[in-house]
Amino acid sequence: MASQMLQKARAYEKERGAQIRPRERPGFHLTGETGWINDPNGFSFYKGAYHLFYQSNPYDTHWGAIHWGHAKSADLVRWEYVGAALAPDMPYDGAGCFSGSALELPDGRHLIMYTGVQDVRREDGSLRGLQTQCVAFGDGVDYEKFQGNPVLAAGDLPEGASPWDFRDPKLWREPDGTYRMVAANDRGDGRGQVLLFESPDTVHWKYLSVLAQSRGELGQMWECPDYFRLGGKRVLTLSVMGMEPRGLEFHPGHNTAVLIAGEGEAFSAEGARSLDYGLDFYAPQTMETPDGRRILVAWMQNWAASGFAPPEARYFGQLTLPRELECREGRLLQKPVRELERYRARPVVYANVPLGEETGLEGIRGVMLDLTVRLRWEEGCGSIRIALRKGGVHETTLTLSPGQGILRLDRSRSGCLLDVVHTRDIPVDTGKGTLELRLILDRFSLELFCDGGKQCASALLTTPEQEDGISFYAQGPAWADVEKYDLDVR
């Protein structure tokens, strides 16, 4: 039975969501039905559909009163709302149903595992959220919280581990039918660690080991861990708080990171790389499709800039396009999910176009696009620039400096007037004299996949829809192959 709080949230989402015109939303990036969203949660395949839940505050465009919103899709591109799945309606999760994961059980039920947060008055009088792990069972629409919640609490933690930062369970089933789960934790000294747990049945859990730990070389608290095997390697992804900058790999503050290790090898935080070099990307989570692909989706936003929803906004926050992962030559590669190609329309193709002062190409423009640009240059080329969402006033640019091996993403003139970070330098391999950029543009975002997905960059854009021009520029000898498709997602 849905609690009153959950029924109220569902009714509110439906009523307010219906007031938002489709053109006010992205074409194919998932937003909340209404209100605020952050992390993707419970990304899973269940009863013939992909299910994607998300941290949601239906009542406001700011973080708070965290519920689980819920959408489903047949193809990972077009989503339909199902109605909130969890409300913070129990004593153990009254301060929020934080991030977690989901999977289909052998008996046909859909299992959700999430972090319940309960505000506790501490000895010094301060209030702090005590974090425990909880489960709920459902049918793809309604979820019943387990009577025995929480299933993991402070007493289950190893010596020194903090019960105040113990969250974001990501679970999976092993081939022998037992379950494993990784959760984020603070070692007790402000640094992050990932703990591994096991269970025979999803409700009785036991601590197994520390899967990875920061010795200060990779930020402070680690959030939203994900762990899977891919291409013969073990892969751990993390959302890292309080990072010190490291070259072009990591910027200050919240980052995401991927660590790759062989069987039997320990994860080393030193070899960590960024999952996305853009401006808006955090809290990624993955799932495995029935045909064996590992797919990642993330919150397309960042905490530092997330407090600035425009006063008139009725929803705030969106998720990235789901991405297919591949692990090759010690790197994690990401590509737009192949299902997107079904929505390609009106191709326009150019080969070997010489680039100069300002080169515009007939038919190469638009707002919802799948655009591939293969750049080629020769000795003496100082820079190549692509301007997107270009109109009289605005533009977002990608500038390649072949000599430096840097691709600069700059959205300072994209229409966002906030005094926040608008540029990032992306380290790219320019040694071959060519570089392939695949750009996925939606009404309010750009996702860049560089060099077959070795580097990705996501950025929100607030450019008016009529500003849809694209131009190319080069200083020195350079050429481009361009392949453009409109994306007709309705």
Q: Which residues are catalytically annotated? A: 39
Q: Is 224 in the site for ligand FRU (CB under 6 A)?
A: yes
Minimum Å distance from CB 221 to ligand FRU?
Answer: 8
Q: Is 167 in the site for ligand FRU (CB under 6 A)?
A: yes
For ligand FRU, the closer of residues 45 and 282 by Cβ is 282
Tokens of 425: 């330098």
C-alpha dist (Å) from residue 457 to 198, 200, 276, 306: 35, 39, 5, 18
For ligand FRU, the closer of residues 95 and 272 by Cβ is 95
Minimum Å distance from CB 254 to ligand FRU?
Answer: 8
CA 220 to chain CA mean position, Å? 20
For residues 437 and 288, give the distance between their C-alpha atoms in angstroms, rounded to a whole number.
26
Contact with ligand FRU (CB under 6 A): which of 36, 43, 79, 98? Answer: 98
Minimum Å distance from CB 313 to ligand FRU?
Answer: 19
Minimum Å distance from CB 271 to ligand FRU?
Answer: 23
Contact with ligand FRU (CB under 6 A): which of 55, 214, 359, 414? Answer: 55
Q: Is 168 in the site for ligand FRU (CB under 6 A)?
A: yes
Burial 41-67 (b: 16+ CB within 10 A, else e): bbbbbbeebbbbbbbbbbbebebebbb
For ligand FRU, the closer of residues 224 and 337 by Cβ is 224
Minimum Å distance from CB 64 to ligand FRU?
Answer: 9
Minimum Å distance from CB 131 to ligand FRU?
Answer: 8
Q: Is 99 in the site for ligand FRU (CB under 6 A)?
A: yes
Q: Is 306 in the site for ligand FRU (CB under 6 A)?
A: no
Minimum Å distance from CB 282 to ligand FRU?
Answer: 6
For ligand FRU, the closer of residues 227 and 449 by Cβ is 227
For ligand FRU, the closer of residues 26 and 100 by Cβ is 100
Q: Is 66 in the site for ligand FRU (CB under 6 A)?
A: yes
Q: Is 377 in the site for ligand FRU (CB under 6 A)?
A: no
Q: Is 463 in the site for ligand FRU (CB under 6 A)?
A: no
| Interface positions, 409-428, toward ligand FRU (CB under 6 A) | none
For residues 490 and 475, give the distance between their C-alpha atoms in angstroms, rounded to a whole number.
40
| Interface positions, 385-414, toward ligand FRU (CB under 6 A) | none
| Interface positions, 241-300, toward ligand FRU (CB under 6 A) | 282-283
For ligand FRU, the closer of residues 28 and 282 by Cβ is 282
Cα torsion 209, 52, 282, 239 to 10°: value is: 0
Minimum Å distance from CB 462 to ligand FRU?
Answer: 22
| Interface positions, 104-133, toward ligand FRU (CB under 6 A) | 115
**Count, residues near ligand FRU per rule CB under 6 A:** 14
Tokens of 423: 């540029």
Contact with ligand FRU (CB under 6 A): which of 31, 34, 38, 463? Answer: 38
For ligand FRU, the closer of residues 228 and 282 by Cβ is 282
Contact with ligand FRU (CB under 6 A): which of 223, 370, 395, 425? Answer: 223
Q: Is 226 in the site for ligand FRU (CB under 6 A)?
A: no
Q: Is 39 in the site for ligand FRU (CB under 6 A)?
A: yes
For ligand FRU, the closer of residues 45 and 299 by Cβ is 299
Q: Is 320 in the site for ligand FRU (CB under 6 A)?
A: no
For ligand FRU, the binding residues (CB under 6 A) are 38-39, 55, 66, 98-99, 115, 167-168, 223-224, 239, 282-283
